[in-house]
Chains A and B, each alone.
Chain A
Amino acid sequence: KNQVEQSPQSLIILEGKNCTLQCNYTVSPFSNLRWYKQDTGRGPVSLTIMTFSENTKSNGRYTATLDADTKQSSLHITASQLSDSASYICVVSAILTGGGNKLTFGTGTQLKVEL
């Protein structure tokens, strides 16, 4: 069964500090992995997307890593800001037999940045 597990479930950090969120998956066959940021009560917004051959990808203060061998990904946030407070969702895409792909969503890590 395809699964995406994220940790920690929630996290509180001080403004300006760095943090790393984890994503472990068992999705197969793997196509790509995405990180989304979702503010409370709003739709998710794409941060990064990585394919099998990509190990790292940055988007401003966000840096995602992917280890396709161990099926792990991380999202590192540098110099956190209050506006980073949100849920961060890991989404893994599997290739379907016959074409197309299927997304499996993690339950997200709820990040709160405090003064």
Chain B
Amino acid sequence: DGGITQSPKYLFRKEGQNVTLSCEQNLNHDAMYWYRQDPGQGLRLIYYSQIVNDFQKGDIAEGYSVSREKKESFPLTVTSAQKNPTAFYLCASRTGDTSGNTIYFGEGSWLTVV
């Protein structure tokens, strides 16, 4: 079945460590996105990529990094520079950046700093 797969579902990070969240899609979508969701807040955009080998910062990119070496993959690295990384992270994708296209979300990844 086509869809977006995020892994791991749950991840624990020690302070000072970098961790990478995986996002893979087999929908042949051009655009991919990473969002962060905190309790009581709307989703906030971290990074997005409209095409392979290109990505742009979102509203809260500090402390995060991404790569887009393949169309189907858009991994997110949470670096030690991110001071408050505990959150629910959502990856999404859609065909191009046309406003009317449906955005598909992955199942999310819970990151907790211990």
Contact = CB atoms under 8 A, between A and B. Distances in A.
A108 B90 contact: no
B42 A32 contact: no
Contact of B42 (A93, A99, A108): A108
B108 to A, nearest CB: 5
Contacts of A113: none
A46 B99 contact: no
Contacts of B108: 41-43
Q: Chain B: interface residue count, which band?
A: 20 to 34
B45 A103 contact: yes
Contacts of B102: 46, 49
Contacts of A99: 97
Nearest to B9: A41
Contact of B105 (A41, A44, A108): A44
B10 to A, nearest CB: 10
A100 B97 contact: yes
A32 B45 CA distance: 18
B72 interface: no
B99 A93 contact: yes
Interface residues of A, number: 25
B42 A107 contact: yes
Nearest to A90: B42
A72 interface: no
Nearest to B92: A43
B11 interface: no
Contacts of B45: 103
24 contacts: A31-B99, A32-B99, A32-B100, A34-B103, A41-B88, A43-B4, A43-B6, A43-B90, A43-B106, A43-B107, A43-B108, A44-B90, A46-B104, A49-B100, A49-B102, A51-B100, A89-B42, A93-B99, A95-B99, A99-B97, A101-B97, A103-B103, A105-B42, A105-B43
Q: Which 3 A-B pairs have the closest CB atoms?
A: A105-B42, A43-B105, A31-B99
Given A89-B42, A105-B35, 13 more contacts: A4-B42, A31-B99, A42-B108, A43-B6, A43-B106, A43-B107, A44-B90, A46-B103, A49-B100, A103-B45, A105-B43, A106-B42, A107-B42
